[in-house]
Amino acid sequence: MRILLAGATGVIGRPLVTALEARGHEVVAITRRPRKDAVVADVLDRDALLKAVAGLRADVIVQQLTALAKPPRNGADLAATNRLRTEGTANLLAVARETGATRYIGQSMFFGYGLRPGRTRPITEDEPFGETVGGGMDAAVFALRDAENLPFAEPGLDAVALRYGMFYGTMDAMSLMVGMVRKRMLPLPRGGTGLLSLIHVDDAVSATVAAIERGRGGEAYNIADDEPVGLDVYVDALARAVGARRPLRVPVWLLRVLSPYFATMATGTSLPVSNAKAARELDWRPRRPSYREGLAELVVEA
């Protein structure tokens, strides 16, 4: 297939290009940076984007866009990524119409299930997604909802949404977090945290390839490993993996002052998602069943 990939220079995009080409697909990147054999345009500039793809034919559009260069501190730090998920998605749908693409694979995130504490049972794709959550995070959750619903509503388009867990794995994906852990700049709340679902970058790539080739139009899939883990347990394990001291424990009120977003993730959220549907329908399994296997592979840079 000929695949137009928006976000080809990102943490997921770069290895995804390699994986798709190894499967015999032709990949054309949509990027703002000059690059050989790429569509050079800003996805938020609709007119320039459509001009850049004029006369191009494609089978599949893949959206892997993000504007996050560092971990967000609060909901406002997600504003640029929210625009990519709303305006950017709408513009990529116009690209699908222009290029004749009949398939669309969109990046979504498990945070769209809502930032609520106390959940321990696996969350499936049948549960509500994109509803009000409060805590200053509604805009981000609504943007995830739009990033799914806009393609689902597009006539003649087989759209698939991939609800990824929290990415980890390669130093490319984790350099900022590793740096913070080494400097003890990632404190954790006293009393423990909720459960989060993780996904190694390489497993996210293999799941995306499976979705492009086998995903059912109109469906969303949770893309996560087999073992949800407390954020505190994971960050402690990361510190050990990189030879850092155990992260500091601080009162919840202080964590909220330092980083409202991280405090919400750590104390107000539990998101143990099930990957059973992806295993069943995509014939996909994570090669790293838990964070243990993934962190054991981490090549730590000096």
pLDDT in tens, 223-235: 999 999 999 999 9
Burial label for 257, CB within 10 Å (0-12, 13-18, 19+), is exposed
Q: What are the DSSP calls for 172-210, one per residue?
A: HHHHHHHHHHHTT---EETT---EE-EEEHHHHHHHHHH
Q: What is the pLDDT of residue 42?
A: 95
Secondary-structure class of domain 2-296 per CATH = alpha beta
Grouping H, G, I as helix, E, B as strand and the rest as coil, residue 229 is strand
pLDDT in tens, 130-176: 986 666 678 889 999 999 999 999 999 999 999 999 999 987 778 88
* pLDDT recorded at residue 88: 97
State residue 295's pLDDT score: 95
- Tell me if 273 sits within 8 A of 165, measured CB to CB: yes
Over the chain (302 residues), the average pLDDT of each successive run of 10 is 95 95 97 86 96 97 82 72 96 98 97 89 96 74 96 97 94 84 93 94 98 98 98 96 95 89 85 98 98 89 53
Strands 103-109 and 60-63, how do they pair?
parallel
The tokens 């073992």 sit on which residue? 227
- Buried b / exposed e over 190-209, threshold 16 CB at 10 Å, is eeebbbbbbbbbbbbbbbbb
Q: How far apart are CA 80 and CA 59, in angstroms?
A: 28
pLDDT of res. 89: 98
State how far the alpha carbon of 2 is from the alpha carbons of 144, 162, 226, in Å.
26, 20, 32
